[in-house]
Amino acid sequence: MAIVAAMTGLDVDALVDLRRSIAPVATARQIAMYLAHVGLGLPQADVAQAFRRDRSTVAYACRRIEDLRDDPAFDHRVAQMEACLRWATER
């Protein structure tokens, strides 16, 4: 979560806030969920618990981010976050 927050200029608390969010916050939250599931290999149920959401919300977030990655600029941004995540977890 910290990597996504830092790279999007958002506060970590905004990513786990239970209230409905404006689009940039919602997308950042979805990226964080995607990275937790795909990048770290965490089960969707565990990701859902960490974000205080339902597992179906995590599944939707992963599908949405995969779709958005068809845009080269968005894909590059997520790839940068994935690289930071790999670096942080390999230390």
CATH no. for residue 65? 1.10.1750.10
What is the extent of the structural domain holding 44? 2-90
Look at residue 1 and give its three-state secondary structure: coil
What predicted TM-score, i.e. pTM, was given to this entire model?
Answer: 0.91
Distance CA 49, CA 69 (A): 25
CB distance 14 to 25 below 8 Å: yes
Residue 17 reports pLDDT greater than 90: no
Rounded mean pLDDT of 32-55? 96
Structure-token match 């995607």, residue found: 34
pLDDT bracket for residue 90 (50, 70, 90)? confident
Query: What is the count of structural domains for the chain?
Result: 1
Q: pLDDT grade, residue 84 (50/70/90)?
A: very high
Report whether pLDDT(21) > 90.
Answer: no
